[in-house]
A and B are shown apart, each in its own frame.
Chain A
Amino acid sequence: MINRDSPVTEDELHAYIDGELPADRMEAVTAWLAAHPEQAVTVASWRAQSERIRARYGAILEEVVPERLTLDQVIRSDRASGRSWKIFAAAAALVAFFAGGATGWFAHGASVGTRTSSFAVANEALDAYKLYVVEVRHPVEVPGTERQHMTQWLSKRLGEDLRVPDLQSIGLKLVGGRLLPGPTGAAAFYMYEGASGERFTIYCAKAATPASAFRYTAGERAAAFYWADGKVAYVVSGPADRDKLEKVAKAAYEQMERDDAKRS
């Protein structure tokens, strides 16, 4: 390997202290550091940072794991928590109302009449997404295992024939759904989850306009695709990763289209 003569990059200096430097560059980097004492001091300070971090938190590894974090206990409490979800859901709905109050609700109130529009629905949906996406134990009122019951219930409350898309083909499992207050009455809210915990939601409400194009809106950390299709407006929300979100929105859209075609 003639690698020893190529210039040393900053990435290599990090790789050097993190044990990621290829063996054939070791000699070149150590020689370069010997010739550049100022940079050698910086590299030593990075190494010292790592040592301080390990010194500060290393001992936690030796601590006895608290009872509640043993797997048996986690499994048991997870089962027990299923019983109290109804009370919690009621509380969560109240929180939703007040949490939305500061910005979302007034903002949407101001826009009613002028442009109730899918934009207001999208804002509402994003607020709901941000509120429920953090929920671990009680993200939904009806679990995804009761898909059919949930579809019937939410369809009845909205007064529209709803569909709950199956997104398993893109790695998303249906967590479940809930009923929410929306700008045009009741709204249906479904939550999906990927293998590593990333969540996406679909929000359905009565549409103010009969049809609209696919639109995209992004906040700092969350984003949404929305469209109206006949009588229902749909908002697919998720982390602010446009490509991924578009994939989810398209999969949901295509499936609802397909179902529509089948039913008509």
Chain B
Amino acid sequence: MPTFQQNVEATIPALRRYARALTRDADIADDLVQDTLVRALRSEHLFHGGDVRSWLYTILTNLNRNRLRSLARRPVLSPIEDNDAPDLAGPEAGGRDIERALATLVEDQRNALLLVVLEGLSYREVAEVQGVPIGTVMSRLARARVQIKTYLDGGRPALRRVK
């Protein structure tokens, strides 16, 4: 039977993947993973069984939400790209395209989609991570897919609201 720490350690590569997709920045992503690990190890005594992996995803998702919230409070935001249209076809461009499409999503939708599609969590697990009913997870997923399709099809999506 693996120990708590072994379970945490085994999840690190997947946490890095999820964090990278969420933040689109390797350094910020690894900071987020590091903070998640610090938090998890400190709160080990609060973990009462269950799936360590889902619990780690929950912590990372919450930390990223906190991070975005603090970003929103800063007066200086990143400049608006004027070439924000979908890239031309090509293997390299394809990756950036999907990245940008993901960036146009509302945070909760992006979390839900990535947890299902990239991290392979079940709808039920995502509902636990997000603290919402499964129906809400499914509608987030549906809206995320519609939005990404609109973006990739070249339709300029509605400007994302900066909170």
Which A residues lie at the B interface, using CB under 8 A?
10-11, 14-15, 18, 20, 42, 45-46, 49-50, 52-58, 60-63, 65-66, 68-71, 74-75, 78, 99, 102, 130-131, 133-134, 136-137, 171, 173, 193-198, 220-222
Give residues 37-93 of B contacting A (CB, 8 Å): 37-39, 41-43, 46-48, 55, 58-59, 62-63, 65-67, 69-70, 73, 75
CA distance A10 to B8 in the complex (A): 36
Contact partners of B20 in chain A: CB under 8 A: 57, 60
Q: Is the pair B118, A57 in contact by a Cβ cutoff of 8 Å?
A: yes
Nearest A-chain residue to B145, judged by Cβ: A46
Partner of A71, one of B9, B66, B95: B9
User: 1/0 contact trace for B91-112 toward A, CB 8 Å?
Assistant: 0001101110110000000000
Q: When the two chains form their complex, are residues A75 and B62 in contact, meaning their CB atoms are under 8 A apart?
A: no
Q: Is A60 within 8 A of B33, CB to CB?
A: no
How far does the alpha carbon of A220 sit from the alpha carbon of B62 in the complex, in Å? 16
Alpha-carbon distance A63/B123, docked complex (angstroms): 27
- Interface mask (B8-50 → A, CB under 8 Å = 1, otherwise 0): 1100111011001100000000100111011101110011100
Q: How many residues of B contact A (CB 8 A)?
A: 57
Q: Is the CB of B59 within 8 A of A71?
A: no
Given contacts A52-B94, A52-B98, A196-B62, contact A78 B69 (CB under 8 A): no
Which residues of chain B come closer than 8 Å to A102, judged between CB atoms? Answer: 75
Quote the shortest CB–CB distance from A104 to chain B (angstroms): 10
- CA gap between A137 and B34 in the complex, in Å: 11
Asked if B16 and A130 make an inter-chain contact with CB atoms under 8 angstroms apart, the answer reads no
Q: Which residues of B contact A75 (CB under 8 A)?
A: 41
| With A18-B116, A18-B123, A46-B145 as contacts: A63 and B98 at CB distance below 8 Å | no
Known contacts A137-B38, A195-B46, A14 near B138 by CB under 8 Å: yes
Q: How far is the CB of B125 from chain A (nearest CB, A)?
A: 11
Contact B63 A130 (CB under 8 A): no
Chain B residues with Cβ under 8 A from A65's Cβ? 12-13, 16
CB-defined contacts of B142 to chain A, threshold 8 Å: 10-11, 14
Q: B149 an interface residue at 8 Å Cβ cutoff?
A: yes
Known pairs A78-B38, A136-B35; list 8 more (Cβ under 8 Å).
A46-B145, A55-B94, A65-B12, A133-B66, A134-B69, A173-B43, A196-B55, A221-B65
